[in-house]
Structures are given as structure tokens and as C-alpha cells.
């Protein structure tokens, strides 16, 4: 991957610490902080539609980051991520409904419970690779889905279960305007955690396992430990994302957590950029906005001369689904390294302007 | 036109439309046009949408128009909930909801109760009939849930009573065997316990339930189970689409079972699709008549049908008519509410209790008289049992097949299911 790191001339690094800072330059850090501050002001001027999309990016982004740690950083594969997302959602609803745990604690608890389940299903990863591992995670998807539909005590069976809204000191985060802040805080915390993880020994070990497992093992990295751990971390993120989803929607039902949803998670990280934390967020935003953009586009087309000329009528809805697929294919053909890579190129272009070659 | 004028014109237009939008009565309409139950969801939603558009063309609710927002939620409860949350907050909060499935309606019960939004569902789950939550079977209070028709449980009870009689009439020996069939989903599951309980009381031998998915597929294995177990009466809990697969598979393996559909289990389209396999299936019907009947209310229905079919020739299945009835019960309740303090949720709810055995004006002879009280939302307990008759090839259009008599929905009987207090909310 040709990642061009653009460091201003004269900005030398003199220690390992400064080489692994989260933000390469002061400006980039300031921009990130400014971005968060701007987001804080969003509920003041955005309507519910946009807020709900941003909240979606929030909880899906957290779960997608988990998958990126597993797939992008550790080089494993999972096509059962939505099942872990679902487990987190049900676990949090169950903890707050049946055990009486306050929602604010139920969410991290759900993360821990999902981690345990993730470790369990990650055990085959210690011995399986590639396609075989993919099939093993497929099993996780189906086992969990069936469990959701049958475990009445835990999930309410096929009827689903109600989840209480998050309440802190009597203040209920039950509207989009309020929940937006919950999603934002969770997103920032989880992303900083992941970024920091990648700067530690463990994080580097994960990357080493991805790049060349044999060399990693020779260097003293316990493959079994790190592969399984990666599943656990991935499940933790999925669990937290799922729990947030549960308390945002205030209802969880088995229907949502299908394999299609798992593949969407894979789509998010592939489009965003495998092994890129910022790319994960970009990919999630892309996957959330794309159907909405297509919806708006089809609304524009319907009823126009083009519509009547081609006699589209009811088929416009299908046209939308097809164009979503098409956009994704085009994206993979022309931007295989993901949005994160494109972003770097855009930045480089402007930094070197007008002398970029 | 300069940019300035264009901008001014658009903003003026926007202002004007938003001003009128606030004066209207917002109504949310959840429809399944693409999901697992879309086979019956499409005609029902069309009935609701046409009826509401017709109401608007006649001046709306005492002069105020309904602002209807129809959304296809693909029969996925989470999508219904997130849509509902958009509708239920803010200044344009909906005054009423036209809903659809059991999973989403039951999930929304608590929400609509809290937000005081009357929800008229296409789900007839018995759990929705208990406004106070005092039913002995642990039903949760559903004060704002209404539906037009017998509950799934009451309809099944009615059919079981008919089946017990039928068994005697046919000269059956020993105990008849009853089996519940359907997907593992809230909708087919809703009347399961109620049906099996009554079947036992009526002297049926209750076999273990048989599962088949909500989507069409190969259900030969299920039919072989029925054949081996020797089932005599089977309840089909799913919608027409997947039921057809079962009917055809059972015909192939030669399982001789009397099938009993639910209200969504059979209709003219399904009879056409299933052909001879649908012959003899009994099912409960919500309306008093089918499309070609000559009753006073059909004139209104034909006018409503022209909203989406200008030619006026379309043959509408039973679900379309049930959709119109549901929309009109809401309309009459809104009429009363607008004269008694305004079209708000609590007023619409109160309006539903004002009359006894009532039929919305203009639909006489079509909708079956219903009564709701603040302690009992079982609007109707009389179950009209019909039998589908299919004779010959079903290649032609539904309208022609019905006209030629190839497809006939023949009324067998009306069973008055007792309004037992212990059956409330079950």
C-alpha cells in the first residue's frame, strides 16, 4: 500500500514516542478537536433525520471498528459480526430488564459479555485460516441467530424485547437530540482506545500476525493468544455498538442481525480502508449515506420525463438497490485501498499544490 | 427570472406548503410492500391508502385534510420502530397510526400507549385486545391498539368449533387430530396456545406444532409429517404466499388434511396461485361480502378503488376491502373527535367507544358491525367462515376466474365465539 506520509519539512522526530503520536501534526490534532466541537453543536441546527443518520454512523462505526481490528489489523476474517452486534444488544437489554442493572452500566457489561462469546467463537481461529475460518465464523452467525430466536428468557424470542432508554441521574437520553451526545462520546472514546491499542506492544503484535504470521511467531509472538484476543476485542466493540443501538431504538428483535448485515459491516471496512481507523469511520458514513443519497436521487427521478420515457414506475425502488451495488463495485475497482487512501491523496495534493506531480 | 426571484419564489412556496402541512392531520401508515408478508400487505396497504385519499377528496375530517405518510418497512420490526420514532416526536406528531404486522405492532404497544397515538393494525393478535392489562394470561395493557376483525385467537376458536362439528358430520371415528402450523414468528405464534387449549377442550388430539417459514419454499417434509401423524385439521398461521407452498406440497404427497387458514391465509389471488390445491381450504373473513357483491356499501368501495385504478375494472381481493374498513373506522372516530375537543389521540380513542355494533357511514353491508369498549378491544367476535372453491384451470385473471365461478369463496357459517373474560388479551 503506497501510503505517502506527508510531514512538513523541518518537523523531525527524535523519539519513538513522538513517532507514534495519535496525530502526526499539531494542525491535524486541532482539526480533530474542532471537528468534535462542531459535532457537539449539531443537535442545535440539524433536524431529526440527519441526527438519526449521524447516530447510526456512531453505533455502526464502533462495531465496524471492531471488525477492522480483526480483519484489517490482524488479518483474520469474520462473516458473523452482526451476530455479536446482536448479542450485545440483547445482553444489554437483558441486563437492564432482568437484572435491574442501570443502562449506563449495562452497556459496558454487554460489551464484556459479548467479548466472552467472541472469545468462545474465536477459538477455532487459533487453528483455522482463510476460507476455513470464514466458514467457522459463519457457524457463529447461525448459531447465535438461532439462539436469539429461541432463548425466550434472554431475548424475548421472536417477539423481541424492549430496551429502556439510557438514563443518567434521572435525565433520559430518549430523543435523537439527546442520544446524539451519547453516541458521540462513545464513538470518540472507543476510537481513541483503538488508536492507542495500535500503539502498544499488543497492537503491533496483531499487525505482525497479519503481515507474516510465521515471522511473527519466530519473533516470539504467541499466535493463538493474539488471534483469539483479536476476536475478543472485535466482539467487545460489536457488543458496545449493539448495546448502544438497543438503547437508542429501545427495541431489539432477532430479525435485524442477519448475515446480510454482517456483510455490510465488511463492506464498511473494505470501502473505508482495511487497517485504517479513520477509514472505518469514513466507510461507515459512506454505507449509511449511500442508500439515503440513492433514495433522494430516485425521488428526483420519479415523475420526471426520464421516468415516463423508460416506464420505470415501481421499478425505481429496485433501481436504487441496484445502483447501491453498482457504486460499491465501482468503488472497489477504482479505489481498492479505500476512502482513507483517497483522503491521504487529496491531502497530499493540496499540501504540494501547485507542484504535485 | 433572476436568481433572486427564483429564490424568493421557492421560499414562498416552501412556506406555503409547510403552513398547510401544519394544518393537516398527520397520519402514519406502515406498510409491508416488500417483506415476507407483502403478498397480502400490498392489497391491504392499497386499500388503506386509497381509502385515506378518498376521504381527503371528500373534504377530509370535517374540512381538515389528512397528511398521510406511507412507508414500506419490509416487515422488519426494528425499521417500523425507528420510523415510528420519527413520526411520534416533534411538532408534526401523528394523530393516528395505520400499522401492519404483529411483531412491530406488539413492540409498539408500549410506545403508542405512552404517546397516546391510536394504532390501527393489520395484526389481529389477541394480545392487542386488552386495553387495561387485566387479562388473566399476562397480557400487557394495550389501550391505544385497535383492529378491525376477529382476533387471530377468536378466529381460530371459531374454526375449531366448526371443525368439531364438521368431524361429527363427516362421521369421523375417534378423536380428530389437530396441528398448528406456521413460522416461528410472533404473528403465527399469536393464537397458538389459545387454539391448542380450546382444541383439547373440544376433544381434539393436539399434535406437536409444525414449522414452516414465512417465505415460499419446499415444504414437502412438513407435509410428510402431517401425513405420517395422520392430522385431520391443520391451522395455517402464515400469509397466503407460503401457505400456497404448503397446500401444493401436501397435495403432491397426498396428505388429506382439512386446512384452516387465518384471515391472511387465503384470498382470491392465493386461490388462483394454488389452483386445485386451494380447493376446500376454510378461512375466516373480516368483511361481510366479497368484491362482486351487491350491497349498498360497495358503491363507496368502487369509488375508492378508482383512486388507484382509473378504469374501475380492477378486482380487489378481500384484504383490500378490510383495509378500507379499517381506515374508515379511524375516519369516523376522527370525525367525532374533531367535534368533541379536537383530533387528538385520547379523543380518537374515546370516539371508538361511542357507538355499539357500528359500521362506518357509506360502507353498510361491507364492514361487519363492531363494538369496542374501554375494557375490551375485541371489536368483533362473530367469525364468518368461508371455504375456497377452485374448479378447473386457474390460468386466467382473477377477475375472470371469479366471474366464471372457477374461484368461489363460499360462506359456510358464522360462529359466535363467546366473549369470555378469561380469553381477553389471549
A contacts of B186 (beta carbons < 8 Å): 158-159
B34, B78, B111: residue with CB nearest A255? B78
Establish if B215 touches chain A: CB-CB under 8 angstroms. Answer: no
Q: How far apart are CA A316 and CA A310, in angstroms?
A: 10
For residues B108-121, one letter each, b for 16 or more C-beta atoms within 10 angstroms of the residue's C-beta and e for the rest, the string is bbebbbebbbbbbb
Mutate to test the interface with A, among B18, B76, B78 (most CBs of A within 10 A): B78
The residues near B91 (Cβ < 8 Å, ≥ 6 apart) are B22
For CA atoms B85, B88, B89, B93, the dihedral sign is positive
In which region does residue A200 sit, left (phi positive, over 0), alpha (psi from -120 to 50) or beta (all else)?
beta
The predicted pLDDT at position A170 comes to 87
Nearest Cβ partner for B103 among A49, A160, A250:
A160
What pLDDT score was predicted for residue B16?
45
Residues of B whose CB is below 8 A from A49: 86
Arithmetic mean of pLDDT, A115-122: 94
Q: Please report the pLDDT score of residue B6 as a whole number.
A: 52
**Per-residue pLDDT tens over the stretch A272-305:** 999 999 999 999 999 899 888 887 887 787 777 7
Q: What is the pLDDT of residue B18?
A: 43
Q: Do B78 and A253 touch (CB under 8 A)?
A: yes
Span A198-211, mean pLDDT? 93
**A237 in Cβ contact with A127 (< 8 Å):** no
Architecture per CATH, domain B152-290+381-423, reads as 3-Layer(aba) Sandwich (3.40)
At A174 the pLDDT is 84
Dihedral angle computed from the Cα positions of residues A160, A166, A170 and A174, in that order, rounded to the nearest 10 degrees: -80
Domain ranges of chain B: 3-151+300-352, 152-290+381-423
Whether A159 has its CB under 8 Å from any CB of chain B: the answer is yes
β-strand pairing of B119-120 with B145-146: parallel
Chain position carrying cell 488508536:
A195
Q: Do A158 and B106 touch (CB under 8 A)?
A: no
Residue of B nearest to A317 (CA): B34
B189–A317 CB contact, under 8 Å: no
Q: In this model, does residue A241 exceed pLDDT 90?
A: yes
pLDDT at A324: 76
Closest to B148 (Cα-Cα) out of B133, B129, B127? B129
Q: What is the mean pLDDT of each run of 10 residues along chain B (426 residues)?
A: 52 46 82 90 95 94 93 88 86 92 92 94 94 87 95 96 94 92 93 95 95 93 94 95 93 93 93 92 94 92 92 92 96 95 94 94 94 94 94 90 92 94 92
Angle at A249 between CA A121 and CA A100, to 5 degrees: 70
Residues of A in contact with B76 (CB under 8 A): 255-256
CA distance A54 to chain B (A): 14
Whether B185 contacts chain A with CB within 8 A: yes
Task: Tell me the CATH class for B3-151+300-352.
Answer: alpha beta
The Cα–Cα gap between A75 and B340 comes to: 67
Answer whether A249 sits within 8 Å of B76, measured CB to CB.
no
Give the gap in angstroms from C-alpha B82 to the nearest C-alpha of chain A: 6
3-class secondary structure, A140: helix
Contact criterion met (CB below 8 Å) for A52 and A176: yes
- pTM of this structure: 0.84
Q: Please give the pLDDT value at position A357.
A: 57
Could you give the angle at the alpha carbon of B157 between the alpha carbons of B231 and B411, nearest 5°?
A: 90
> CB-based contacts of B301: which residues, under 8 Å, 6+ apart?
B291, B316, B321, B324, B363, B366
Helix H, strand E, coil C: the string for chain B is: CCHHHHHHHHHHHHHHHHHHHHHCEEEEEEECCCCCCHHHHHHHHHHHHHHHHHHHHCCCECCECEEEEEEECCCCHHHHHHHHHHHHCCCCCCCEEECCCHHHHHHHHHHHHHHCCCEECCCCCHHHHCCCCCCCCCCCCCCCEECCCCCHHHHHHHHHHHHHHHHHHCCCCCCCEEEEEECCCHHHHCCHHHHHHHHHHCCCEECCCEECCCCCCCCHHHHHHHHHHCCCEEEECCCHHHHHHHHHHHHHHCCCCEEEECCCCCCHHHHHHHHHHHCCCEEEECECCCCCCCCCHHHHHHHHHCCCCCCCCCCCCHHHHHHHHHHHHHHHHHHHHHHCCCCCHHHHHHHHCCCCCECCCCCCCCECCECCECCECCCCCEEEEEEEEECCCCCCCHHHHHHHCCEEEEEEEEEECCCCHHHCCC
ipTM of the complex as predicted: 0.76
CA distance B328 to B48: 9
- C-beta atoms of A250 and B76 within 8 A: no
What are the tens digits of pLDDT across the range A60-94? Answer: 999 999 999 999 999 999 999 999 999 999 999 99
Q: What is the mean pLDDT of chain A?
A: 88
Q: Where are the alpha helices (DSSP H) in chain A?
A: 16-19, 26-40, 42-45, 48-68, 81-98, 103-122, 130-150, 152-155, 176-197, 201-211, 213-218, 223-249, 259-272, 277-301, 305-310, 316-334, 339-352
Nearest Cα residue to B98 out of B399, B408, B324, B273: B324
Q: How far apart are CA A95 and CA A133, in angstroms?
A: 31
First to last CA, chain A: 19
pLDDT at res. A325: 81
SS3 (DSSP) at A252: strand
Helix/strand/coil for A221: coil
Residue B49's Cα: distance from chain center in Å?
A: 14
- Domain architecture of chain A: domains with CATH: 43-352 (1.10.3470)
Amino acid at each position: 500500500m503506497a501510503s505517502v506520509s506527508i510531514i512538513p519539512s523541518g518537523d523531525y522526530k527524535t523519539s519513538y514516542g513522538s513517532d507514534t503520536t495519535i496525530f502526526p501534526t499539531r494542525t491535524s490534532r486541532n482539526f480533530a478537536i474542532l471537528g468534535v466541537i462542531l459535532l457537539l453543536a449539531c443537535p442545535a441546527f440539524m433536524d431529526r433525520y440527519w441526527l438519526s443518520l449521524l447516530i447510526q454512523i456512531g453505533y455502526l462505526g464502533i462495531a465496524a471498528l471492531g471488525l477492522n481490528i480483526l480483519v484489517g489489523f490482524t488479518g483474520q476474517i469474520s462473516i458473523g459480526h452482526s451476530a455479536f452486534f446482536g448479542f450485545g444488544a440483547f445482553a444489554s437489554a437483558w441486563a437492564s430488564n432482568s437484572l435491574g442493572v442501570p443502562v449506563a452500566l449495562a452497556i459496558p457489561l454487554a460489551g464484556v459479555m459479548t467479548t466472552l462469546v467472541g472469545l468462545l467463537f474465536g477459538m477455532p481461529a487459533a487453528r483455522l485460516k482463510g476460507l476455513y475460518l470464514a466458514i467457522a465464523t459463519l457457524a457463529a452467525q447461525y448459531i447465535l441467530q438461532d439462539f436469539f430466536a429461541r432463548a425466550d428468557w434472554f431475548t424475548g424470542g421472536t417477539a423481541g424485547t424492549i430496551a429502556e432508554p439510557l438514563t443518567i441521574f434521572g435525565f433520559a437520553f430518549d430523543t435523537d437530540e439527546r442520544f446524539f451526545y451519547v453516541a458521540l462520546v462513545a464513538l470518540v472514546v472507543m476510537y481513541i482506545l483503538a488508536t492507542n491499542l495500535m500503539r502498544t506492544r499488543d497492537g503491533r503484535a496483531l499487525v505482525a500476525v497479519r503481515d507474516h504470521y510465521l515471522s511473527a511467531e519466530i519473533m516470539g509472538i504467541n499466535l493463538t493468544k493474539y488471534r483469539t484476543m483479536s476476536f475478543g476485542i472485535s466482539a467487545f466493540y460489536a457488543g458496545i455498538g449493539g448495546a448502544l443501538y438497543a438503547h437508542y431504538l429501545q427495541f431489539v428483535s432477532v430479525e435485524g442481525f442477519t448475515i446480510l448485515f454482517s456483510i455490510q459491516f465488511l463492506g464498511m471496512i473494505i470501502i473505508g480502508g482495511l487497517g485504517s481507523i479513520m477509514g472505518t469511520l469514513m466507510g461507515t458514513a459512506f454505507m449509511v449515506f449511500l442508500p439515503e443519497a440513492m433514495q433522494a436521487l430516485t425521488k428526483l427521478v420519479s415523475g420526471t420525463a426520464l421516468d415516463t420515457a423508460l416506464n420505470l414506475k415501481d421499478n425505481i425502488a429496485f433501481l436504487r438497490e441496484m445502483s447501491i451495488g453498482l457504486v460499491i463495485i465501482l468503488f472497489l475497482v477504482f479505489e481498492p485501498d479505500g476512502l482513507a487512501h483517497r483522503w491521504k491523496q487529496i491531502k497530499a495534493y493540496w499540501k504540494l499544490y501547485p507542484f504535485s506531480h | 427570472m433572476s436568481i433572486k426571484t427564483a429564490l424568493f419564489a421557492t421560499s414562498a412556496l416552501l412556506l406555503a406548503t409547510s403552513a398547510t402541512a401544519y394544518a393537516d392531520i398527520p397520519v402514519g401508515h406502515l406498510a409491508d410492500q416488500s417483506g415476507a408478508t407483502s403478498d397480502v400487505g400490498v392489497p391491504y396497504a392499497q386499500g388503506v391508502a386509497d381509502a385515506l385519499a378518498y376521504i381527503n377528496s371528500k373534504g377530509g375530517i370535517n374540512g381538515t385534510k389528512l397528511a398521510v405518510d406511507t412507508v414500506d418497512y419490509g416487515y422488519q420490526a426494528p425499521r417500523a420502530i425507528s420510523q415510528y420514532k420519527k413520526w411520534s416526536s416533534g411538532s408534526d406528531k401523528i394523530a393516528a397510526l395505520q400499522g401492519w404486522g404483529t411483531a412491530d405492532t406488539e413492540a409498539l404497544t408500549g410506545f403508542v400507549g405512552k404517546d397516546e397515538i391510536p394504532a390501527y393494525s393489520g395484526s389481529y393478535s389477541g394480545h392487542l385486545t386488552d386495553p387495561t392489562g387485566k387479562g388473566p394470561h399476562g397480557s400487557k395493557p394495550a389501550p391505544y391498539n385497535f383492529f378491525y376483525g376477529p382476533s387471530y385467537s377468536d378466529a381460530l376458536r371459531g374454526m375449531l368449533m366448526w371443525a368439531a362439528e364438521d368431524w361429527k358430520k363427516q362421521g369421523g371415528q375417534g378423536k380428530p387430530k389437530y396441528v398448528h402450523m406456521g413460522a416461528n414468528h410472533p404473528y403465527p405464534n399469536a393464537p397458538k396456545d389459545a387454539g391448542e387449549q380450546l382444541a383439547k377442550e373440544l376433544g381434539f388430539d393436539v399434535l406437536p406444532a409444525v414449522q414452516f417459514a414465512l417465505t415460499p419454499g419446499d415444504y414437502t417434509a412438513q407435509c410428510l409429517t402431517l401425513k405420517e401423524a395422520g392430522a385431520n385439521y391443520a391451522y395455517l398461521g402464515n400469509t397466503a404466499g407460503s401457505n400456497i407452498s404448503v397446500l401444493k406440497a401436501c397435495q403432491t404427497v397426498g396428505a388429506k388434511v382439512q386446512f384452516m387458514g387465518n384471515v391472511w391465509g387465503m384470498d382470491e389471488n392465493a386461490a388462483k396461485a394454488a389452483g386445485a390445491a386451494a380447493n376446500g381450504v376454510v378461512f375466516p373473513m373480516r368483511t361481510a361480502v366479497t368484491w362482486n357483491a351487491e350491497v349498498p356499501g360497495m358503491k363507496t368501495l368502487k369509488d375508492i378503488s378508482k383512486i388507484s385504478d382509473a378504469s374501475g375494472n380492477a378486482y380487489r381481493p378481500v384484504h383490500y376491502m378490510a383495509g378500507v374498513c379499517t381506515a374508515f373506522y379511524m375516519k369516523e372516530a376522527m370525525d367525532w373527535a374533531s367535534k368533541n375537543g379536537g383530533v387528538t389521540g385520547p379523543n380518537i380513542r374515546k370516539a371508538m367507544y361511542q357507538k355499539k355494533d357500528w359500521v362506518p357511514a357509506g360502507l353498510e353491508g361491507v364492514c361487519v358491525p363492531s363494538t369496542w369498549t374501554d375494557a375490551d378491544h375485541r371489536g368483533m367476535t362473530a367469525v364468518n367462515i368461508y371455504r375456497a372453491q377452485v374448479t378447473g384451470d386457474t390460468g386466467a385473471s382473477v377477475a375472470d376466474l371469479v366471474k366464471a365461478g372457477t374461484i368461489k369463496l363460499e360462506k359456510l357459517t358464522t360462529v359466535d365465539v363467546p366473549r369470555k373474560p378469561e380469553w381477553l388479551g389471549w
